[in-house]
Structure 1
Amino acid sequence: MSNLFKAFLDLLPDRPLLVGTVLSVANSIARVELPGGGMVQAHGQATAGQRVFVRDGQIEGLAPGLPVEIIEI
């Protein structure tokens, strides 16, 4: 017998991995600006000016300082 709850969870999309620049940090909550101009708040260790990976409100690590190209479809 298969697990119906696991089958249901497999239908849901994965949380996206975002990249952005930290604008400010207060009480381990970073305010991160995304390339499109959006803002998110994330928990984790970072300093202002760093580029970070963010997923589901958590900073997952530092992002490389590569140029970002936005393509609208």
Structure 2
Amino acid sequence: MATTNIWQQFKALIPEGVRVIATITANNGNGTSQAELRDGSVITVKGESVSVGLKAFIQDGEIRGIAPALAHYEVEV
């Protein structure tokens, strides 16, 4: 049965978990990869579907796909 609670319907539209973009620095050969975040920290994530040097979407510690290599700007308001 579908819920009539508007808040619950809104929450269902938003994917759960944290999604970040990272640069893949190594495929480890055991189903994991090394990824460098924007702040310079390196994490180990599940998956080897993205080649070294490319950017990837990381969600809940797993590679979800290739991310576009766009410029990043930070503006303080």
TM-score w.r.t. the length of structure 2 is: 0.67
* 3-state SS of 2:71 partner: coil
Over the aligned positions, Cα root-mean-square deviation in angstroms equals 2.0
CA contact (8 A) 1:20 1:32 kept: yes
After superposition, the Cα gap between the structure-2 partners of 1:57 and 1:66, relative to the gap in structure 1 and judged at 3 Å, is: same
| Aligned length, in residue pairs | 61
Q: Which runs of 5+ in 1 are unaligned?
A: 1-9
After superposition, the Cα gap between the structure-2 partners of 1:36 and 1:69, relative to the gap in structure 1 and judged at 3 Å, is: farther
Q: 2:44 aligns with which of 20, 41, 45?
A: 41
Q: Which runs of 5+ in 2 are unaligned?
A: 1-10
* 3-state SS of 1:19 partner: strand
In structure 1, how many angstroms separate the alpha carbons of the residues matched to 2:74 and 2:38? 8
Instruction: Identify the residue that residue 66 of structure 2 maps to in structure 1.
Output: 62
Superposed CA offset, 1:2-61 (max 9, x none): xxxxxxxx8xxx421000100001122110001111221111112110100001110011
Identity %: 27
